[in-house]
Amino acid sequence: MIKPKKLKPGDTIAVIATSSPTDSECVMKAEKGLKALGLNPIFYPSCFSNHGHLAGTDTIRLKDLHDAFLNPSHKGILCLKGGAGAMRLLDKIDYDLIKNNPKLFIGFSDVTALHLAFASKCNLSTVHGPMALSEMFQYGEEEKVTLEEFSLDSFSKAIFGTAPMGTIENPDGFEIQSLVSGIATGEIIGGNLSLIAATLGTPYEIDTRGKILFIEDTHESNYVLDRLLTSLSLAGKFRDCNGIVLGTWTGCTAEIKKSYKGVDLPLDTIIKEVISPYGKPMINGLYAGHNFPQITLPLGVKVTLDATKGTLTYVETHFSDD
């Protein structure tokens, strides 16, 4: 596993938009938030570009990605936001360039496509966590920035810390459910379920062999989640993994069917029927995904999942020693 260097307060970071666009007002807010965090953000052209549902053409977004990794003054790379479009870059990326210039790379949601590609093609450890447009940055009067404490603590450990992340804890009041008891170890890999399923059958397909599989999703009907989870099941991803960490399912609901006056199965029933039969240690409700407060999860390093106790513990740092 190739591990990046940690960041230090005052470091310059590149902010790139690999997926959907935003507007200049949001970029200005993101700049204030990142400076309040103690970083010096440089916003690349994709952050100001718009090509329909994309933050600029593939050429613009690809160039920004490459330039951000190549620039030695930029110590890390933070994605501006998610949305859609990162998958269009996968067959165009110079993976040798990425491998030879490893940096801390952070994002989630649609950015999952890049996490999977960097894992499979570069063996690079990346970070699943808040992006530049994050509710971690809260703006008050005259856009004064305050930082949401729980998310900030988790994010800071993941970008500034040197030791392993240790045991990951949910915010107060949010319980982690033990669905299948047992203990498993392995590298944690994964991200957004929709993107994981979309890359099946491609050169960037997730490899869960001996891994701890983390998945989450947002605003999908339960019947869609059933289809996506079944796709992973048919592809052997639950069979091959050592353990399963389910995150949050923000906005995911059972859809009422007018055609036959029925309703989708509850999500917990779908999980029980599709995933649980594999008997892999499994928890649900880890507060990492499309939710705030938000847990930051380094990917590609060893963790221990104690599904009986409902704990996930990092036993390896995701930073290089130098």
Question: Residue 196 contacts by C-beta under 8 Å, 6 or more apart in sequence?
Answer: 112, 116, 190, 206, 215, 228, 232, 237
For residue 98, tell me if it sits in a domain.
yes
For residue 319, tell me if it sits in a domain.
no
> Same domain for 92 and 177?
no
Final residue in a domain of this structure, among 160, 175, 196: 160
For residue 3, tell me if it sits in a domain.
no
Residue 109 is among the residues annotated as catalytic for this protein: yes
> Same domain for 147 and 189?
no
**47, 55 contact by CB (below 8 A):** yes
Residue 46 is among the residues annotated as catalytic for this protein: no
Looking at 74, 115, 290, 318, which residue is catalytic? 290
**103, 77 contact by CB (below 8 A):** yes
Q: What's the predicted TM-score (pTM) here? A: 0.96
Looking at 216, 220, 316, 318, which residue is catalytic? 216
> Same domain for 307 and 173?
yes
Task: Please give the residue range of the domain that contains residue 96.
Answer: 12-160
Instruction: Give the closest residue to 46 by CA, choosing from 69, 68, 72, 74.
Output: 68
> Same domain for 83 and 172?
no
Number of domains composing the chain: 2
CA distance 17 to 49: 9
Looking at 20, 109, 125, 154, which residue is catalytic? 109
Residue 74 is among the residues annotated as catalytic for this protein: no
> Looking at 181-185, 237-241, 252-256, 260-264, which range is the least confident one?
260-264
Counting other chains too, the contacts that 97-102 makes at CB distance below 8 Å and 24 or more residues apart are 97/66, 97/69, 97/70, 98/69, 98/122, 98/124, 99/2, 99/123, 99/124, 101/69, 101/70, 102/2, 102/3, 102/4, 102/320
CATH number at residue 183: 3.50.30.60
Mind listing the pLDDT tens digit for each residue in 159-213? 999 899 999 999 999 999 999 999 999 999 999 999 999 999 999 999 999 999 9
> Same domain for 144 and 204?
no
User: What's residue 109's pLDDT?
Assistant: 98
> Same domain for 147 and 171?
no
For residue 39, tell me if it sits in a domain.
yes
| Per-chain mean pLDDT for the chain | 96
